[in-house]
C-alpha cells in the first residue's frame, strides 16, 4: 500500500491498540490538534475528578481534608505515587507539588552547596529560559555572579547537544548540574544514564527537567541514580493549564532538610502540633512548600488513570511510529518546499517534530487558519506533536497535505511573519 495515501494512514489507525483512548478526550471540533507538547487536551476523566473534588468541598467543607474519595491532606502524596511509574521512581521518591520553576528553586536551594573551588552550576545554552532564570537567581542569592558561575554548554549546530561536550564541561569547579531530558526546540533526548554516570564519577549532583519528556518517553530515574528531577503536568500529561507540577528526589537523599522549608513538608503525624521546630517528612514529600492546590491537582488524577491503562511503554512505541510516519511524509511531500527537519531522525527524538522554515511564524498562523493547531518556537521553528493518546495517523497525513497546500499556494503570505503574544 502506498504510504502517501490516506488509505495507508487509516490502515495504521485500524491496527492501533491505543485508538480507543481518543474517545476519552474532548477533541476540538474541526481541528487537528498538534500542540499537545505545549498544552494537552482535556480528558473526560480529568473533568470527572475535578467535579468530584468540587463536590467534596461543597458537601464536606473542611472535612474534605481527611474524608471523601480523594482526601486533600494526602493528595500530593497519592498523586505522586501514581506519577512514579512514569519517571521510574519509587512511590516515596515522587511528590506532586508546586510548578516547574518553584520546584527547580527548591531543588537547587537544596542540592547547590558551593564549597572551595566548586562554585559553578552547569547547564546548557539550549535550555528553556525559565530554568536559566531560576539558576541565575539561585546563584545571586548565594552571592555569585551568574555571568561567571553559570556555565552553559554550547551547541555545535544550534539544534543539538553532544553528550561528550557536556561531560567535558564537568570540571572540578562545578557544584551542580541541571539539564533538560528533552530539548524543547529540537526534541533531542539526552542520554541521561550516561550523563548521570559521568557526573557521579566526579562527585557532582545532577538533576533533569522532564517537562518535555514525562508522558512521552520512558524514564528510569531511580535505577539510573539521578539525584533529582522536576516537571510540569500540562503538556503530555494533559493535566490542564497551570496544573500542579512534580518532583523526584532519590531516596538516598531523604532525610536531608530541603533548602526551602514550608508547612506541608512536615511529617504529617506532627504537622498540626504547630511546633516552631520543623520535623520534615522522611521522603520526597518533605520538598513540598505550601498547601496542595487541590483543584489544580484534580485533573491530573484523571489524566494519570489513562496512562496507567495505556502504559508508558505502549505510548512511547506509538509516539515513535507517529513521528516516523510524519518524517516519511515530510520527506516525500515537502521536499523542495524550504523546510529543514530540526529534530533527530532516529529514536533519540522525543514526542514532537521540528520543521524549520524562514516563514515559520506565518506558516503557523496559516496552519491555524486551516484548522491545524501547531506551535511556533523562535526563531524559525514549527513544532508539531502527534500525541499518542489522541492523535491519529490520519491526523498526520492531513497535516502534511495542508502544509503542502499552504506553501504551494503561498497562503502564508496573508499573515505577518511575526509570532503572536503566546506563540
Q: Which residues define the annotated binding site for pyridoxal 5'-phosphate?
A: 100-101, 128-131, 209, 212, 234, 263, 291
Give one word for 298, left, alpha or beta, with left for phi > 0 and alpha for psi -120 to 50.
alpha
Sign of the dihedral through C-alpha 319, 321, 325, 330:
positive
As given in the structure block, the three cell numbers for residue 143 are: 552571592
Q: Which residues are annotated as a binding site?
A: 100-101, 128-131, 209, 212, 234, 263, 291
Q: How far apart are CA 365 and CA 370, in angstroms?
A: 9
Tell me how far apart the terminal alpha carbons of the chain are, to the nearest angstrom.
38
CB atoms within 10 A of CB 115: 7
Long-range contacts of 394-398 (CB under 8 A, 24+ apart): 394/6, 394/9, 394/10, 394/13, 395/32, 395/34, 396/9, 396/322, 396/325, 396/326, 396/329, 397/6, 397/8, 397/9, 397/325, 397/329, 398/6, 398/32, 398/372
The H or E element containing residue 305 is helix 294-310
Q: How far apart are CA 287 and CA 260, in angstroms?
A: 8
Q: How far apart are CA 360 and CA 128, in angstroms?
A: 20
375 strand-pairing partners:
383
CB atoms within 10 A of CB 36: 27
- Contact (Cβ atoms closer than 8 angstroms) between residue 99 and residue 160: no
The H or E element containing residue 123 is strand 120-124
Amino acid at each position: 500500500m502506498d504510504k502517501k495515501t490516506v488509505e495507508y494512514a487509516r490502515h495504521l489507525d485500524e491496527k492501533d491498540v491505543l485508538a480507543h483512548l481518543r474517545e476519552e478526550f474532548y477533541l476540538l471540533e474541526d481541528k487537528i490538534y498538534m500542540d499537545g507538547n505545549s498544552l494537552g487536551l482535556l480528558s473526560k476523566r480529568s473533568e470527572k475528578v475535578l467535579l468530584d473534588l468540587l463536590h467534596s468541598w461543597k458537601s464536606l467543607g473542611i472535612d474534605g481534608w481527611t474524608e471523601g474519595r480523594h482526601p486533600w491532606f494526602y493528595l500530593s502524596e497519592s498523586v505522586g505515587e501514581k506519577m512514579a511509574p512514569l519517571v521510574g521512581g519509587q512511590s516515596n521518591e515522587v511528590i506532586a507539588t508546586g510548578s516547574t520553576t518553584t520546584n527547580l528553586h527548591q531543588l537547587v536551594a537544596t542540592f547547590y552547596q558551593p564549597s572551595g573551588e566548586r562554585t559553578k552550576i552547569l547547564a546548557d545554552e539550549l535550555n528553556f529560559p525559565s530554568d536559566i532564570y531560576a539558576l541565575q537567581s539561585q546563584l545571586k542569592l548565594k552571592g555569585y555572579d551568574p555571568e561567571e558561575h553559570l556555565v552553559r554548554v554550547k551547541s555545535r549546530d544550534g539544534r543539538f547537544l553532544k553528550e561528550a561536550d557536556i561531560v567535558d564541561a564537568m570540571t572540578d569547579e562545578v557544584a551542580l548540574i541541571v539539564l533538560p531530558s528533552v530539548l524543547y526546540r529540537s526534541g533531542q533526548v539526552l542520554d541521561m544514564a550516561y550523563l548521570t554516570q559521568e557526573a557521579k564519577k566526579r562527585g557532582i549532583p545532577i538533576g533533569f527537567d522532564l517537562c518535555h519528556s514525562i508522558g512521552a518517553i520512558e524514564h528510569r530515574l531511580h535505577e539510573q541514580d539521578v539525584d533529582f528531577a522536576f516537571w510540569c503536568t500540562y503538556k503530555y500529561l494533559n493535566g490542564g493549564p497551570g496544573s500542579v507540577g512534580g518532583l523526584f528526589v532519590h531516596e538516598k537523599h531523604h532525610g536531608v532538610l530541603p533548602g526551602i522549608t514550608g508547612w506541608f513538608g512536615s511529617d504529617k503525624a506532627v504537622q498540626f502540633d504547630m511546633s516552631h521546630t520543623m520535623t520534615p517528612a522522611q521522603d520526597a514529600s518533605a520538598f513540598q512548600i505550601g498547601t496542595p492546590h487541590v483543584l489544580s491537582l484534580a485533573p491530573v488524577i484523571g489524566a494519570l488513570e489513562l496512562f496507567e491503562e495505556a502504559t508508558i511503554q505502549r505510548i512511547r512505541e506509538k509516539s515513535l511510529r507517529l513521528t516516523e510516519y510524519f518524517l516519511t511524509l515530510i520527506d516525500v511531500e515537502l521536499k523542495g518546499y524550504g523546510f529543514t527537519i530540526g529534530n533527530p531522525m532516529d529514536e533519540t527524538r522525543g514526542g514532537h517534530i521540528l520543521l524549520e522554515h524562514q516563514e515559520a511564524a506565518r506558516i503557523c498562523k496559516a496552519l491555524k487558519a486551516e484548522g491545524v493547531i501547531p506551535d511556533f518556537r523562535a526563531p524559525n521553528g514549527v513544532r508539531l506533536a502527534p500525541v499518542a493518546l489522541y492523535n491519529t495517523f490520519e491526523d498526520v497525513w492531513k497535516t502534511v497535505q495542508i502544509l503542502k497546500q499552504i506553501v504551494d499556494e503561498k497562503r502564508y503570505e496573508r499573515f505577518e511573519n511575526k509570532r503572536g503574544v503566546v506563540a
